Chains A and B, each alone.
Chain A
Amino acid sequence: MNKQPKTAVILCTCSGIITEKIDWDTVRAHLAEHPDKPVVTTDELACGAENLEKLAAWLKEEKPERVVVAACSPREHERTFRTLLASAGINPYYLQMINVREQVAWVTADPAQATRKAARLIGAALKRVRHHRPLVERRVPVRTDVAVIGAGPAGIQAALTLARAGRRVTLIEREPFFGGMPVRFEELFPNLECGPCLLEPGMGELLHGPESEHIKLLTLTEVTEVKGSFGNWQLSLRQQPRYVNPELCIGCMVCAAVCPERRENPWNCGGELAAVDGPFVGALPNLPHVDATRCLKLNGQECGACLAECPVEGALDFGDTIRDSVVEVGAIIVATGAEELPVVPPAFAGKDNVFSAYAFERLLAMTGPSGGELVKGDGSAPASLAIVQCAGSFDDAVSYCSGTCCQAALKYAHIAAAKQEGLTVTRLIREQVVPGINAARLFGHDHSHVVRYGGLGDLTVAETPNGRVIVCGSNGAEVPADMIVLCGPTVPGSGTTQTARLLELGLDDAGFIAPIHALSGSFLSPLKGVYLAGTCRGPGDIREAFASGTAAAGVALSELVEGRDLTVDPQVAVVDAEQCAGCKSCIRVCPYKAISWDEATKAADISDILCRGCGTCVAVCPAGAITAQGFSRAMLRAEIEGVLS
């Protein structure tokens, strides 16, 4: 049995609020009889600045080894009183707070009962503090480097903002090029600004400007594992071989021209690419890459056409291999974007000249499969274009509005009509959402007819003497439809899902990454040190992507400051290696992966940086080998005994 260390008890009246119910004089009389002989003081308002000074002086004089404060909720003032103890030269973790305001005075009708309950809880605290141990807050330096996952407009913007502040950034992109979605869109809503033109200055800066010294862009790279926590993340990266040396290649694409192997161009939804090629003209970085599944040479056949014709010795490098690396950063910005879900209802399946919104974007683009010409599959010009909006939105699977399809549809109507005089354009809508001052520019000037339809299931496609039409079941309207664009809903991309899984981030109902708060914290994930930008948080347009990229970078800058250390809470769990039975149950249950197996000691080991002190492992350890510092078994037992005696 521990000998009772000298204990001081501070009874706060809370300016009379607590003493309306609790009679501290009675409690003092009770404590005077207490075998532990605590020293006791009553204070009017213990948290007040002057009172704290007075209390510190009293503690310095009394030199107690433990302190019990009976006042308000520890959720409110535990930190205040820890600081008080520290200022009196007492270890701050020798404190135990009793919440007599919220949980006694304010919930108990009878003053005599309230007084008795307060005394009982103080008695328990006196027992508990015997088992308190001095704990020390460790300070660890934080890394101020940042990893940005996803190099679309949000990621690029975040990386540039950070680099301008002098931060080192690793920008991770799984595609062979960067710029995200809008760099593949030739004209952007509402001003028909050119997507690549809008993005290229930033992309150029990133590759060649002064910022480039701070930014390392890794294309064809994915994050495979994330460990660590705020200030100290470790990301394992896997970069697929490009088989092209970026230092030497001059981007002349002679290799692509001579390559005998052809495949469909997945970025263009049509057209062809060589096995060694760039996805589309103008993609940055301006480098081809080799599709290892299609390259003849890499598949053991006699080839080498590209090698023979390449003007730069060593630019093609068939010895290239997968590169695994680890980056250590203080913060992670997730900017993994979203995708269009290509919804093709049965009535449209197998029909020709049916495009998804993305495929239509590429068809309209000068760098796309038709060189920007509005042509049907057979090369002829369409007489009519039907744009089906909400194609899959407001349905069971995707119940929400993607917010940007109306914009895109207005844009398509305008561009298509401009490309081809006399084209009949019809937009089939379920809802129409085009807010914002700028939207009005295209709205009403898009030269399209508008037909409202009930649901995708109502639509059928029929051949009539006048050509192909979409028949709207609900009202029987016939919409001429030589060419059909189905604007599918915006859904989380596979990269977003994968990254959320790696970081164990929660998803919202639609599968996007759930921020800490939808309104006030939409750039913040629930994990400190992980920030969110762009459409990984839900559908959004490019304006939103730029804004959120800047915002996420700003939060990272404000939270990770050079020289501002991280304080490690000592109230974490620790393993007694001697007692550990080696069952590894704790490793499995820790929600923060804070526990690892130490081969040297043959015992579990807990990282104090990762541990959040929940105590789940303590409860699960069959050997009783784990102690939650601050909430140890001995402390809880003493407290339980105390409230029951």
Chain B
Amino acid sequence: MSCQTMPNAAAHPAPKMMSDGVPGEVRVVAFLCNWCSYAGADKTGMNQLPVPDELSVVRVMCSGRVEPTLILETFRKGADGVMVLACHPGDCHYKEGNLRAFCRAELLERMMPQLGVDPARFYFDYVSAAEAEKFSQATNDFVASIRALGGTAPGRYAK
């Protein structure tokens, strides 16, 4: 079920790039649903657990709102990694948006090699409002893996 099980098909360049003037920094966007994952991120703060500096959170009401094109667009705009975190199955505030998000994530991962994006740069998971540790762990692990992959070349995903 994990997105990380997908074959790492695309070769990817790993040039260092500039972000906010700091060499070598990668940029990762995390789409969090308002009810579980965003609350989980808040809880991570309350528990004072680390979240990588490179991670920028974009709040959406439901993970089901995040369509593949928005994710691809995020890569095109220069993200080196994208996360979508949703409520656990059965816990969606909107009944089933998280499952739609999951299905789309599965499809997107399959498409990504053809589109020239390394699927390892995308991560989908479930994080509940209580799972501060999981949020901290998942974001740190993912950003670390993106750091290892390196930044995507500027202009690689041309507008």
Contacts and interface: CB of A to CB of B under 8 A. Distances in A.
A416 B57 CA distance: 70
14 contacts: A75-B34, A99-B57, A102-B45, A108-B51, A108-B53, A589-B100, A614-B62, A614-B93, A616-B64, A619-B104, A628-B61, A636-B58, A643-B56, A645-B78
Interface string B23-65: 0000101000010001101101110111101001111111011
Given A116-B20, A117-B53, A591 B97 contact: yes
Contact of B53 (A106, A116, A616, A628): A116
Contact of B42 (A103, A121, A504, A628): A103
A631 B33 CA distance: 12
A102 B44 CA distance: 7
A644 interface: yes
Residue of B62, B70, B100 contacting most chain A CB atoms (<10 Å): B62
Interface in A590-645: 591-592, 612-616, 618-620, 628, 631, 633, 636-637, 639-641, 643-645
A103 B45 contact: yes
Given A107-B50, A109-B50, A124-B56, A643 B65 contact: no
B45 A614 contact: no
B93 to A, nearest CB: 8
A615 B60 contact: yes
A563 B134 CA distance: 46
Contacts of A116: 20, 53
Interface in A88-135: 99, 101-103, 105-110, 113-114, 116-117, 120-121, 124
5 closest A-B pairs by CB? A615-B65, A102-B45, A643-B56, A106-B45, A619-B67
B137 interface: no
B20 to A, nearest CB: 6
B56 A614 contact: no
A612 B79 CA distance: 30
A109 B50 CA distance: 7
B74 interface: yes
A511 to B, nearest CB: 15
Of A73, A124, A616, A631, most B-chain CB atoms within 10 Å:
A616
B101 to A, nearest CB: 8
B94 A612 contact: yes
B146 interface: no
A570 B129 CA distance: 25
Given A117-B53, A124-B56, 11 more contacts: A75-B39, A591-B97, A614-B61, A614-B65, A615-B64, A616-B62, A616-B94, A619-B67, A619-B100, A643-B27, A644-B29
B66 interface: yes
Given A109-B50, A117-B53, A619-B100, A643 B58 contact: yes
B45 A107 contact: yes
Contact of A102 (B41, B58, B79, B95): B41
A269 B142 CA distance: 64
B96 interface: yes
A616 B56 contact: no
Interface in B104-127: 104
B42 A102 contact: yes
A619 B58 contact: no
A636 B29 CA distance: 12
A107 B97 contact: no
Interface residues of B, number: 41
A182 interface: no
Q: How large is the interface on A (under 10, 10 to 19, 20 to 34, 35 or more residues)?
A: 35 or more
A644 B25 CA distance: 11
Contact of A120 (B20, B38, B95): B20
B42 A120 contact: no
A351 B136 CA distance: 64
A571, A591, A619, most chain B CB atoms within 10 A: A619
A99 B100 contact: no
Interface string B75-87: 0011100000000
B62 A504 contact: no
B42 A73 contact: yes
B29 A619 contact: no
A318 B48 CA distance: 75
A74 interface: yes
A198 B128 CA distance: 47
B38 A75 contact: yes
Most A C-beta atoms less than 10 A away, residue of B45, B50, B60, B100: B45
B73 interface: yes
A640 B94 contact: no
Contact of A619 (B42, B65, B78, B79): B65
Contacts of B60: 615, 631, 636
Contact of B29 (A107, A618, A640): A640
Contacts of A619: 64-67, 70, 100, 104
A110 B54 CA distance: 13
Contacts of B74: 640, 644
